[in-house]
A and B are shown apart, each in its own frame.
Chain A
């Protein structure tokens, strides 16, 4: 029996705002002679919204009402009732994530878009969403190789690499087509982002806001940007300037294995794949087209075989709409009344800390303090890998540890949320339930991998209540 989830993806980017809707099919793949194995069996985009410029009130403020109107219009065009939305994500990307009201807009839109629409922000997750949207993960898995995607947008260039089916690297550079805006009448430079101004200074390129936009200078700047992209993949030696271009200071892209295949997405990507030498380079009033041409011609970037991704300009929004949500394991235990749970920070335990009930309780108690805000306890998800095929006795010990460690949370009326990687959530959940008789207040899921610093959303049950949709995400605003 298949379940159909209608999912929405919304991307509020530096240059454009986009909406897509997709259908996610969930089925039980088990033989019927074993425990259920419920998986996502297909994802299909059913409506691709119009690509609109992101409405801004000022240089530092997003026009929330304007964004909401775009979203509302796409719901109407797709003929989709907001109440039928089961899941999805709103992602705020690139320069837009740095606006004064970025977090407010994000949470507001997530609530506005549907009951379980996940709010996502952060350069590395943006990279992962774009790469999944472009299909780099599938390419790497199907061809048994490594594949990367560079999503070159208006404000940032986001890279992620997959090795077979697994995420291997992710990072972000402050390089984008809209960081230098051009007034085609002249042409003159309308605006330059501070980092790009510093890049011009470093490269002795005479471009400044209000000054002339000379074709030779613009071409040299685009080439310098393409070289920085090549440096990030180890294709050129890193310049002294390079560390400055990283979106997150000190968080360089580290490739654990050589990158064998590369594709490009984002608004600039169309000019990487197609010869656009005849096009008007100032069509969008920015450096985008010239940047695409520079990437296309870059000998260093050309050293990695290039493949065509599934999406270009829509990669990030497709990633948000179709690839944010995964399913928990199929044998889990939870109190339905608690769901959905949104944006819980992860309290991650090391394998040593989760090796016994006593160490687990101790670690939870001490780490919980990190999550106190103004002296108040905050909901968290306690996460650990957990043993493979644990004995019944070992599970009892862990359950004791969780109940003891989370005593403060329970006293504050907060739920006990447990996330494990290995298959033990049902027995652990039942063991916790036995220790909390009469209390409704826990969720225990498995087959989900999270890291310290992540956040998690857990949605309403699907497949006759046997699985929960889970979104592991980051929330980083600058």
Chain B
């Protein structure tokens, strides 16, 4: 046992020693030299394939289990903390999610798809994130544009929004033609596709009320998690308007290359839209 005064003295001594050491002597030498090569990309290997448990009883079975989930199983630890690899991978995945939320979608990508581009009442990313209510309403200019460019009272309006992930737009070139082809197979033609910037799911109600089509299908970026920033959802509703409850919407989520492949999801969405048209209802009442 030490008396408190002894401890104080020891701390004082240690600090004095440290302060007496010439500055920088214990640090790596400052250098302007840039080494060749690159720091390995921690995200190059999927978390499903990384395994850091030392001396596992059954490595094969553990790896097999890991293939079924994106949860970070078997990442190992250093005392009570993550090890360096886990920490860096976590930070990298979090950065991907942040980028997906905060990056504006490049307008040229929207233009290349030939979409009719408008936006909600939100004027900036900040406003979009802090005012969900304004992300559900189209601004006046957009309403006028959509009124002019989109057919009224049609069967199906296919609509695209950035939502909480602009990275999810990567699915669009595969899912949109798949939905159109599937609907065409049922004898349903889809008109021009409106694109809405700063779009919340509720914006489909505003659009539905504006164009009066039977079914509105909104393809929108999902709030990213740590598994991917590219996941997209398809929300569908029969004669949507702001009075309808959330349960009125049918949704297919988890659309991305690692989930339901976008082209396959599009084919499935076309079937659902047909079913909504036939049953004249959507969401919980559709009874899937």
With a cutoff of 8 Å between Cβ atoms, the chain A residues found around residue B185 in the complex are 430, 433-434
A389 touches B262 (CB 8 A): yes
Interface residues in B222-272 (C-beta closer than 8 Å to A): 251-254, 257-268, 270-271
State the Cβ distance, A142 to closest chain B Cβ, in Å.
10
With A32-B288, A392-B177 already in contact, the answer to whether A424 and B261 are too (CB < 8 A) is: yes
Cβ-defined contact, A34 with B254, below 8 A:
yes
What's the minimum C-beta distance from B86 to chain A, rounded to whole angstroms? 23
Contact call B264/A164, Cβ cutoff below 8 A: no
A145 and B173 within 8 A (CB)? no
CA of A435 to CA of B207, assembled, Å: 34
Write the chain A residue with the least CB distance to B251: A33
B252:A35 contact, CB within 8 angstroms: yes
A392-B177, A424-B264, A427-B266 known; A164+B182 contact, CB < 8 A: no
**In the complex, A239 has a CB within 8 A of chain B:** no
| Cβ–Cβ contact A164 & B253, under 8 A | no
Question: Once the chains bind, are B254 and A391 in contact (CB under 8 Å)?
Answer: no
A423-B264, A433-B185 given; A34·B253 CB < 8 A: yes
Q: Mark A22-47, 1 if CB is under 8 A from B, else 0.
A: 00000000001111100000000000
A residues less than 8 Å from B288 (CB atoms)? 32, 36
Known A165-B64, A331-B260, A433-B185; further 10 A-B contacts with Cβ < 8 A: A36-B288, A331-B264, A391-B174, A426-B264, A426-B267, A426-B268, A427-B178, A427-B267, A430-B178, A430-B267
Contact: A431 with B181, CB < 8 Å?
yes
Whether a CB of chain B sits under 8 angstroms from the CB of A413 is no
User: Complex formed: what's the CA distance from A32 to B185 in Å?
Assistant: 25
Tell whether A66 is near chain B: CB-to-CB under 8 Å.
Answer: no
Judge whether A388 is part of the interface by a CB distance below 8 angstroms.
yes
* A34 to B255 alpha-carbon distance, docked (Å): 8
Cα separation A34 to B253 with both chains bound (whole Å): 5
* B279 CB-CB contact with A under 8 Å: no
Contact of B178 among A36, A389, A392 (CB under 8 A): A392
Residue from A34, A333, A395 within 8 A of B252 (CB atoms): A34
- Docked-complex contact B267 and A331, CB < 8 angstroms: yes
**Is A215's CB within 8 Å of the partner chain B?**
no
B60–A164 touching, CB < 8 Å? yes
Which of B181, B257, B259, B271: most chain A Cβ within 10 A?
A: B181
Within 8 A of B (CB), among A252-274: none
Closest beta carbon of chain B to A215's beta carbon, Å: 46
Which A residue's beta carbon lies closest to that of B259? A34
Q: Does A210 contact B (CB under 8 A)?
A: no
Once bound together, how far apart are the Cα atoms of A34 and B185, in whole Å? Answer: 23
Q: In the assembled complex, how far is the CB of residue A89 from the closest CB belonging to chain B, in whole angstroms? A: 28
Known: A164-B61, A164-B64, A434-B184. A423 touches B261 (CB 8 A): yes
Question: Which B residues between 83 and 135 are near A, CB-CB below 8 angstroms?
Answer: none
Report how far A286 CA is from B265 CA in the complex, Å: 60
Bound-complex Cα distance A331 to B178 (A): 14
Any chain B CB within 8 A of the CB of A237? no
**Residue A390 CB within 8 A of the other chain:** yes
Asked if B58 is at the interface of the complex by the 8 Å CB criterion, the answer is yes
Q: Which residues of B contact A429 (CB under 8 A)?
A: 267
Within 8 A of A (CB), among B169-193: 173-175, 177-178, 181-182, 184-185
The prevalent SS among residues of B at the interface is helix
Are B267 and A389 in contact, CB atoms less than 8 angstroms apart? no
Residues from chain A with a CB closer than 8 A to the CB of B263 are 389-392, 395, 424, 427
Query: Residues 130-164 of chain B: 1 if any A CB is under 8 Å from the residue's CB, otherwise 0?
Result: 00000000000000000000000000000000000
Q: Verify A145–B251 contact, CB threshold 8 A.
A: no
Q: Which of B254, B257, B259, B267 contacts A333 (CB 8 A)?
A: B267
**5 pairs of residues in contact across A and B, judged by CB atoms under 8 Å:** A34-B259, A389-B258, A389-B262, A389-B264, A423-B261
Contact A427 B254 (CB under 8 A): no
Give 7 nearest A-B pairs by CB, closest first.
Answer: A144-B61, A389-B261, A426-B267, A427-B267, A389-B257, A392-B174, A427-B263
* Chief secondary structure at chain A's binding surface: loop
| Chain A nearest Cβ from B81, distance in angstroms | 28
Distance (Å) between the CB of A422 and the closest chain B CB? 8
A-side contacts of B177, CB under 8 Å: 392
The complex places the Cα of A331 from the Cα of B62 at a distance, in Å, of: 29
Which residue of chain A lies nearest to B265 when distances are taken between CB atoms in the complex? Answer: A35
Highest count of chain B CB atoms <10 Å: which of A36, A165, A430, A433: A430
* Docked-complex contact B268 and A392, CB < 8 angstroms: no
Known: A144-B61, A164-B60. A390 touches B261 (CB 8 A): yes
User: Is B64 within 8 A of A427, CB to CB?
Assistant: no
Docked Cα-Cα span, A390 to B61, in Å, equals: 29
Output the least CB separation between B68 and chain A (Å): 11
Inter-chain contacts of A392 with B (CB < 8 A): 173-175, 177-178, 262-263, 266
Chain B, 268-288, CB within 8 A of any chain A CB: 268, 270-271, 288
- Per-residue interface assignment for chain A, residues 414 to 430, with 1 indicating a CB less than 8 Å from any chain B CB and 0 otherwise: 00000000011111011
The smallest C-beta distance from A352 to any residue of chain B, in angstroms, reads 22
Contacts of B261 in A (CB 8 A): 388-390, 423-424, 427
For window 363-419 of A, CB contacts with B under 8 Å fall at 388-392, 395
In Å, the complex CA distance between A145 and B263 comes to 37
Distance between Cα atoms of A433 and B257 in the complex (Å): 24
Whether A427 contacts B252 by the Cβ 8 Å rule is no
Question: Cβ of B62: which chain A residues have Cβ within 8 Å of it?
Answer: 144
CB distance from B229 to the nearest CB of A (A): 16
How many Å from the CB of A430 to the closest CB on chain B?
5
B20 nearest CB across to chain A (Å): 57
Closest to A144 in B: B61
Are the CB atoms of A34 and B260 closer together than 8 Å?
A: yes
A-side contacts of B260, CB under 8 Å: 34-35, 331, 423
Q: How far is the CA of A35 from the CA of B259 in the complex (A)?
A: 10
Cβ contacts under 8 Å, A431 to chain B:
181
Query: In whole angstroms, how far apart are the Cα atoms of A431 and B264 in the complex?
Result: 11
Note all chain B residues with C-beta closer than 8 A to A32. Answer: 288
With a cutoff of 8 Å between Cβ atoms, the chain B residues found around residue A395 in the complex are: 178, 263
Chain B residues with CB under 8 Å of A331's CB are: 260, 264, 267-268
Chain B residues, Cβ within 8 Å of A425: 264
A427 touching B173 in the complex, CB below 8 Å, given contacts A145-B61, A164-B60, A392-B178: no
Interface string of A136-178 (1 = CB under 8 A from B): 0000000111000000000000000000110000000000000
In the complex, which of the residues A143, A388, A389, A392 has the most CB atoms of chain B within 10 Å of its own CB atom?
A: A392
Give chain A residues whose Cβ lies under 8 Å from the Cβ of B268.
35, 331, 426
Docked Cα-Cα span, A427 to B181, in Å, equals 9
Contacts of A423 in B (CB 8 A): 260-261, 264
8 Å CB interface, A84-111 against B: none
Q: Which residues of B contact A36 (CB under 8 A)?
A: 288
